[in-house]
């Protein structure tokens, strides 16, 4: 019986010992380091972790380190499927004070009356690193993952050769951009510039310095350098709002983002512009750079005198179409030529300007005959080939079928001034008097002569006449309205005098009438109205406070002048248009 009790007692002691041992083996206390090697300018995080609450925590002395923060405590406790989980941590943030190898000794804590010790660890401190990884702020991350780049198509173009600049914003997949706005737009000094509109911001995949990025095209511009040598392209600067991911999580487990604003710039770009070569430069070169075609054409080759034709000088192709002067027509002096009307149909894309430009001359022959429009040259520089090219237009002969003969030019119309052969006659110097009939001067005196008394009385006679004349002038000057009417009527007769002479000859009359109207506006408004449309003329007159009724009358006469070229007009209609034109000119002059 005593043996039985002894067996039960020993079994109980062993069971308690095993339970106690099992319970003691479940306690953990350890030290965890954020890194075992760091730079002198980096930070070290040290955590002392235990799975059961304890007392009297005693940290090591951290030789070779300076304590920046700590100790900070964090406790975590939870129940999962009836099993309790517990964790308690003491944390320190340390900064190394010197390079070398340092040892972080044991820390101790008392848990359930028993002392537990952590294991010691060695730390290697090296020289300072370029970018401490543990000090990367949102700004630092944005700097490394956000780049604005200006991509230039050509850095050594010729003068007036097109180059393109495309501004791209590269964004690393690790961050995102929520907004941006321009801070400083380049002005492109010494360049002719044309922006190419970016209709939508579409993100595309690409690489930047060998790393994968997403990029968007923010701005595109075409530049034509107007000066040789080294030219600076000013930078584009942006203020960008960047969302940078952090290591924190929100309540639902989503990553927390830190937002920052960064200023990014594309930086200055230097363009080395080459001068156009002087060797083999044609005399007709006028600054055209590119690849062009050249043609001179007329609307008709046969017409009657006083009719008009259009002679067009046209250049089309790809290059600096808006930046050079078209060659001028060299026409015979016997042809009346109006100032040319310039037209352009040019579009600008990333390849530069493309399209055509032209000058259209209105030519009116006055006499019958054949008039040559001689060939004219057009030269341009081809930057791809590095050579000059000269194109010559074809010679065109204009045949004037009906009209008066030019007495000074009976043959083929020449290109310069008309010349006639001078035939010397035997009596060509008869105006020189070789035999002079001289008479002696008499001794008659002027004083007290009849002429003397006559000249003495004449001023006395003219005094009353001058008084009457002055009074008449004052009466006329006081009549302001009458003076305006008389002045306007004289002006109308002056400009319409040529048209009046051509009454009955439809073509000549309406050409003269239209020219009279334009010349009147040219004289009064100091502008070339032949270059303007009727809408532009109407706008100019209304700006001068001309009444709408008067403006509409002026435009009606101009329309009749144009319609007369294609429609039959009677002598009555011509007389009405002549009188109406005189009335309109008088009204405009009075209102001005």
Residue 190, Ramachandran bin (φ over 0: left; ψ between -120 and 50: alpha; else beta): left
User: 50: part of which helix (H) or strand (E)?
Assistant: strand 44-50
- In a domain, residue 17? The reply is no
Burial category of 572 from C-beta neighbours within 10 Å (exposed 0-12, middle 13-18, buried 19 and up):
exposed
What's residue 441's pLDDT? 56
**Do 520 and 550 lie in a common domain?**
yes
**Do 544 and 499 lie in a common domain?**
yes
Burial category of 270 from C-beta neighbours within 10 Å (exposed 0-12, middle 13-18, buried 19 and up):
exposed
**Do 534 and 583 lie in a common domain?**
yes
- In a domain, residue 545? The reply is yes
User: 231: part of which helix (H) or strand (E)?
Assistant: strand 229-233
What's residue 415's pLDDT? 45
Q: Which two tokens stand for residue 10?
A: 């020993």
User: Distance between CA atoms of 510 and 446, rounded to whole angstroms?
Assistant: 63
Percentages helix, strand, coil for the chain (3-state, rounded to 5) are 25, 40, 35
- In a domain, residue 248? The reply is yes
Indicate the residue among 400, 417, 436 that finishes a domain: 400
**Do 328 and 223 lie in a common domain?**
no
Indicate the residue among 117, 135, 153 that finishes a domain: 135
- In a domain, residue 124? The reply is yes
- In a domain, residue 535? The reply is yes
- In a domain, residue 406? The reply is no
**Do 111 and 197 lie in a common domain?**
no
Tens place of pLDDT per residue across the chain (592 aa)? 455 666 666 566 655 554 444 444 578 899 998 888 888 878 888 999 888 888 889 999 888 898 877 787 877 777 766 677 788 888 888 888 888 999 999 999 998 889 999 999 999 998 877 656 555 677 778 888 899 999 999 999 999 999 999 999 999 888 888 888 888 788 898 999 999 988 888 889 988 888 889 999 999 999 999 999 999 998 889 889 988 887 677 777 777 878 888 888 888 889 999 999 999 999 999 999 999 999 999 999 999 988 899 999 999 999 999 999 999 988 888 788 988 999 999 999 988 999 999 999 999 988 888 989 999 999 999 999 999 999 999 999 999 988 788 765 444 444 444 443 344 444 544 555 556 566 655 555 667 778 878 888 888 888 888 888 888 787 776 665 555 556 655 666 677 787 777 777 877 888 888 888 887 777 777 666 655 677 778 888 888 888 888 888 888 888 888 777 666 767 778 888 888 888 888 888 777 7
**Do 77 and 171 lie in a common domain?**
no
The DSSP letter of residue 515 is H
Strand bridging mode 55-58 / 108-111: antiparallel
The answer to whether 40 and 127 are in contact (CB under 8 A) is yes
**Do 40 and 129 lie in a common domain?**
yes
- Residue 69: CB partners within 8 Å, gap ≥ 6? 92, 93
**Do 81 and 180 lie in a common domain?**
no
**Do 69 and 161 lie in a common domain?**
no
Indicate the residue among 83, 100, 135 that finishes a domain: 135
Count of structural domains, the chain: 4
What's residue 71's pLDDT? 83
User: Distance between CA atoms of 478 and 471, rounded to whole angstroms?
Assistant: 11
**Do 149 and 113 lie in a common domain?**
no
- In a domain, residue 453? The reply is no
Burial category of 446 from C-beta neighbours within 10 Å (exposed 0-12, middle 13-18, buried 19 and up):
exposed
What's residue 3's pLDDT? 57
User: Distance between CA atoms of 588 and 521, rounded to whole angstroms?
Assistant: 10
- In a domain, residue 413? The reply is no
What's residue 491's pLDDT? 61
What's residue 12's pLDDT? 61
Residue in this structure with the two tokens 């070169």, named with its chain if needed: 285
What's residue 411's pLDDT? 43
Q: Which two tokens stand for residue 78?
A: 């939870």
**Do 142 and 265 lie in a common domain?**
yes
The CATH number for 544's domain is 1.20.120
* Residue 28 domain boundaries: 23-135
**Do 156 and 244 lie in a common domain?**
yes
């Amino acid at each position: 019986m005593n043996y039985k009790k002894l067996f039960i007692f020993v079994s109980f002691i062993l069971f308690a010992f095993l339970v106690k041992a099992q319970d003691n083996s479940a306690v953990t206390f350890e030290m965890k380091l954020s890194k075992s090697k760091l730079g002198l300018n980096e930070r070290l995080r040290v955590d002392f972790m235990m799975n059961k609450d304890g007392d009297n925590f005693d940290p090591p002395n951290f030789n070779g380190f300076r304590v920046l923060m700590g100790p900070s405590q964090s406790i975590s406790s939870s129940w999962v499927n009836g099993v309790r989980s517990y964790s308690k941590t003491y944390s320190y943030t340390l900064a190394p004070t010197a390079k070398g190898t340092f040892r972080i000794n044991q820390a101790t804590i008392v848990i359930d009356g028993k002392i537990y010790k952590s294991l010691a660890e060695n730390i290697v401190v090296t020289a300072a690193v370029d970018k401490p990884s543990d000090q990367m702020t949102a700004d630092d991350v944005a700097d490394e993952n956000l780049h604005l780049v200006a991509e230039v198509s050509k850095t050594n173009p010729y003068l007036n050769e097109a180059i393109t600049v495309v501004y791209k914003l590269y964004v690393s997949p690790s961050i995102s951009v929520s907004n941006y706005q321009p801070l400083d737009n380049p002005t492109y000094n010494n360049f002719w510039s044309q922006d190419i509109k970016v209709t939508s911001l579409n993100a595309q995949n690409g690489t930047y310095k060998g790393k994968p990025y997403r990029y968007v095209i923010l701005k595109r511009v075409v530049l034509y350098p107007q000066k040789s040598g080294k030219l600076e392209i000013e930078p584009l600067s942006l203020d960008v709002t960047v969302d940078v991911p952090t290591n924190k999580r929100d309540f639902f487990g989503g990553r927390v983002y830190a937002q920052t604003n960064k200023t990014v710039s594309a930086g200055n770009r230097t363009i080395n512009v080459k001068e156009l070569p002087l060797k083999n430069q044609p005399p007709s070169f006028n600054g055209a750079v590119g690849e062009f075609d050249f043609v001179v054409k007329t609307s008709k080759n046969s017409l009657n005198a006083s009719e008009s034709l259009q002679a067009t000088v046209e250049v089309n192709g790809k290059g600096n179409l808006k930046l050079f002067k078209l060659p001028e027509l060299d026409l015979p002096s016997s042809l009346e030529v109006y100032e040319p009307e310039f037209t352009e149909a040019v579009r600008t894309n990333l390849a530069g300007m493309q399209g055509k430009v032209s000058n259209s001359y209105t030519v009116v022959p006055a006499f019958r005959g054949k008039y040559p429009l001689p060939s004219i040259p057009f030269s341009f520089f081809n930057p791809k080939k590095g050579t000059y090219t000269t194109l010559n237009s074809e010679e065109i002969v204009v045949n004037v079928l009906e009209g008066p003969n030019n007495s000074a030019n009976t043959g083929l119309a020449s290109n310069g001034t008309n010349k006639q052969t001078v035939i010397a006659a035997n009596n060509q110097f008869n105006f020189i008097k070789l035999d002079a009939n001289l008479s002696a001067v008499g001794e008659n005196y002027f004083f007290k002569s009849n002429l003397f008394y006559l000249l003495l009385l004449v001023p006395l006679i003219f005094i009353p006449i001058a008084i009457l004349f002055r009074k008449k002038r004052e009466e006329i000057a006081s009549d302001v309205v009458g003076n305006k009417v008389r002045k306007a009527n004289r002006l109308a007769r002056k400009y319409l005098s040529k048209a009046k002479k051509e009454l009955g000859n439809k073509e000549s009359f309406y050409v003269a009438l239209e020219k009279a109207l334009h010349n009147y506006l040219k004289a009064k408004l100091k502008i070339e109205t032949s270059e303007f449309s009727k809408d532009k003329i109407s706008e100019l007159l209304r700006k001068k406070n001309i009444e709408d009724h008067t403006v509409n009358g002026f435009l009606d006469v101009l329309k009749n002048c144009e319609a007369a070229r294609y429609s039959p007009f009677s002598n009555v209609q011509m007389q009405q248009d002549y009188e109406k034109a005189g009335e309109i000119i008088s009204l405009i002059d009075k209102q001005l």
